[in-house]
Homo-oligomer: A and B are copies of this chain.
Amino acid sequence: MRVGLTGCNLVGQSLSRNESQSFCAINPTNNKSLEPFFFIAGNEEIQGALEKATAAFPVLQEKSGSETGLLLRGIKNELELNAKIILMRYQLESGLAAERAQIEFNRTLLQIDQFIELAESSSWREPSIDTPQNRSLITPDLRKMNVGIGPVLVFGASNFPLAYSTAGTDSISALAAGCPVIVKAHPYHPGTSELVAQCIRNAIEMADFPDGTFSHLFDDGFSVAEKLVMDKRVKAVGFTGSQTGGRALFDLANSRPDPIPVFAEMGSTNPMVVFPDLLKEKTADWANAIAQSVTNGAGQFCTKPGLIFCLVSPETTPFIDALIRCVSEEKNMEMIHPNLRENYLRKVKLSCEKIKDRQVDVTFDNVESLVLTCSASQFIADPSLQSEVFGPFALVVLAESVVELNQCLESLEGQLTGSVLGSFSELGKNYETLQLIRSKVGRVILNGVPTGVTVCPSMHHGGPYPASTDSRFSSVGIDAIKRFVRPQSFQNWPNELLPPALRNDNPLNLNRRVDGNWSFAEIKP
């Protein structure tokens, strides 16, 4: 079904605009407001979404994998059907180019594909069965599988209007686990969000899923978020955004009488370590690759490399010069929102002031990409140089020795990624550096750049705090579902009453851990 903008909230399947307060999206290329007005969700709408989600949850938990798969397929189909209007609005609201819009759109579909497969296979239930006879003690029949945690609150991300927002991995992984979703749309791209939300609404109707499977609420402030996070009926939160925002949600959820898990992915500076040997031959290639990684999409990626550690050596100077040259070729970049632009210019100015050994002109009206350099001792002395500058900026840190390099790495906070560039022999002999990087990050890249987060099961997108609030979970890939499921044990249940995943005859044909060994076999009662 075709979708179109209304500015209304979606309280379950119902369009709703109870309050008079509203806001508009802004076209960041000209700072002008875009039609229509989006109506801020009022208390009645918030309560409605929560009530409906609560009522929908047990119904969703009883849906089979193929039924849930059908819902996700429906969402994908609706997105494809409405691609044109979504992509147009995406570009208007974000200022991002058509190519980027298309790439992100395809990525969103690819993510859904992977969760369709996951939902249809039911493998996320990770069934485990222990039969009495196999154990040394006299013990009952015990079976365990994952179930959905309950209604999940998802926050749209500013920098990914599609892939990390309304139908992004947070929402889709929650739905795959049979958890109803309430999305708080990101105010930077409410129109894109509404169009996607309507696609989900259409799919829910067609798949005959209950009212309350999905709700979509607007707010350009923090009040709706606060009410939702504090409500007893919300059982988990997914968020991608700033450290300040993520931490605020985390603190709020933990202040509840009944705290709930908040998975907040809060970005990082994604340190790169560059050893000299590698630079001997391909200086220009690597400088160019890193420059691309810094400036691509105006550096508005949570995996943009913001810190580049180099050992002082004859190879380093030409490399840094080449890097600065490549980066400086990118001028007058657009950022997704005027707020992001202001933040970027403010933070770059701050960095320039801190690093006094270089004179760099910062034009305060246009976003330009920039590389600064400082010494390792300066870096270690000033922890504020570690803080993320969201945008096309990187700081090169020059270390006199591997010892000093390792001291820099030791001082780092948790990160999403860490990259090390070096010849095979450099990588092999700098074992301690590799270990240090590993201790700080969720993903370690050798001889590559951190941007480009491949959507696949082996991707871990998360990391020690403050990269994310819980390093044990990923917000990309099918394992993202683990954030929204909890194991449940069934003791001494008659076979007929057990959920299908745990029945003797293994009707879902699942690989199950039976008495400690993985098996597709039936259980002999």
Q: Which residues from B are CB-within-8-Å of A490?
A: 443-444, 446
Are B457 and A130 in contact (CB-based, < 8 A)? yes
Tell whether, in the assembled complex, residue A139 and residue B456 are in contact, meaning their CB atoms are under 8 Å apart: yes
A259 within 8 A of B: yes
A293 to chain B, nearest CB (A): 13
* In the complex, per-residue mask of A284-322: 1 if CB is within 8 Å of any chain B CB, else 0: 000000000000000000000000000000000000000
Interchain CB contact under 8 A, B142 and A459: yes
| A438: nearest chain-B partner, CB-CB | B488
Q: Is A201 an interface residue (CB 8 A)?
A: no
Known A-B contacts A442-B487, A486-B472; A497 and B261 likewise in contact (beta carbons under 8 Å): no
Q: How far is the CB of A429 from chain B (nearest CB, A)?
A: 11
Encode contact with B along A461-480: 1 for CB under 8 Å, 0 otherwise. 01011100111101000010
Q: In whole angstroms, what is the CA distance A259 to B488 when docked?
A: 27
Kindly state whether residue A507 has any CB partner on chain B within 8 Å. Answer: no
Query: Which chain B residues border A110 with CB–CB below 8 Å?
Result: 136-137
Is the beta-carbon distance between B458 and A485 smaller than 8 angstroms?
no
A475 to chain B, nearest CB (A): 12
- 8 A Cβ contacts from A240-287 to B: 250-251, 254, 258-261
CA distance in complex: A30, B260 (Å): 43
Residues of B within 8 A of A504 (CB): none
Rounded to whole angstroms, the CA-CA distance of A474 and B456 in the bound complex is: 27
Q: Give the interface segment out of A78-86, A143-151, A202-210, A367-375.
A: A143-151
Q: Are B472 and A487 neighbours in the complex by a CB distance under 8 Å?
A: yes
Among candidates B456, B479, B482, residue contacting A135 with C-beta atoms closer than 8 Å? B456
Chain B residues whose C-beta falls within 8 Å of the C-beta of A487 in the assembled complex: 442, 460, 462, 472, 474, 479
**Are the C-beta atoms of B258 and A446 separated by less than 8 Å?**
no
Contacts of A445 in B (CB 8 A): 140, 491-492
Assess the A489–B144 pair: CB atoms within 8 A.
no
B-contact 0/1 string along A164-182, CB 8 Å cutoff: 0000000000000000000
Contact of A427 among B434, B444, B497, B516 (CB under 8 A): B497
- In the complex, A133 has a CB within 8 A of chain B: no
Within 8 Å by CB of A444, from B454, B489, B518, lies: B489
Indicate whether A250 sits within 8 Å of B259 (C-beta atoms), given known contacts A444-B491, A472-B486: yes
CA distance A135 to B457 in the complex (A): 11
A72: Cβ under 8 A from any B Cβ: no
A404 within 8 A of B: no
Q: Which residues of the partner chain B approach A496 to less than 8 Å between Cβ atoms? A: 428
Interface: A158 (CB within 8 A): no
Alpha-carbon gap, A142 to B441, bound state (A): 15
Contacts of A198 in B (CB 8 A): none
A302 shortest CB reach to chain B, Å: 15
Residues of B within 8 A of A479 (CB): 128, 487
Beta-carbon contact of A488 and B442 below 8 Å: yes
Interface string of A411-438 (1 = CB under 8 A from B): 0011000000000100110000011001
* Interface check A511, CB cutoff 8 A: yes
The chain B residue sitting closest to A419, CB to CB, is B491
**A58 within 8 Å of B by Cβ?**
yes
Query: What 1/0 flags go to A95-139 for Cβ under 8 Å of B?
Result: 000000000000000100000010000000000111000011101
Q: A387 an interface residue at 8 Å Cβ cutoff? A: no
Set B251, B460, B471: member contacting A254, Cβ < 8 A: B251
A349 on the interface (CB 8 Å rule)?
Answer: no
Q: A445 vs B470: C-alpha distance in the bound complex, in angstroms?
A: 31
Name A residues whose Cβ lies closer than 8 Å to a Cβ of B.
57-58, 110, 117, 128-130, 135-137, 139-140, 142-144, 147, 149-150, 250-251, 254, 258-261, 413-414, 424, 427-428, 434-435, 438-439, 441-448, 454, 456-460, 462, 464-466, 469-472, 474, 479, 482, 485-494, 496-497, 511, 513, 516, 518
7 more A-B residue pairs beyond the given contacts A427-B494, A443-B490, with a C-beta to C-beta distance below 8 A: A258-B465, A261-B472, A424-B494, A428-B496, A442-B487, A446-B491, A458-B489
> What 8 A-B pairs have minimum CB-CB distances, sorted nearest first?
A443-B489, A460-B489, A142-B458, A144-B458, A130-B458, A445-B491, A130-B456, A471-B486
A-B contact pairs, 29 of them (CB 8 A): A110-B136, A130-B458, A135-B454, A135-B456, A142-B458, A142-B459, A144-B457, A144-B458, A150-B439, A250-B254, A250-B259, A258-B413, A434-B497, A438-B488, A441-B488, A442-B488, A443-B488, A444-B490, A444-B493, A446-B490, A447-B492, A448-B491, A448-B492, A457-B513, A458-B513, A460-B488, A460-B489, A464-B486, A511-B518
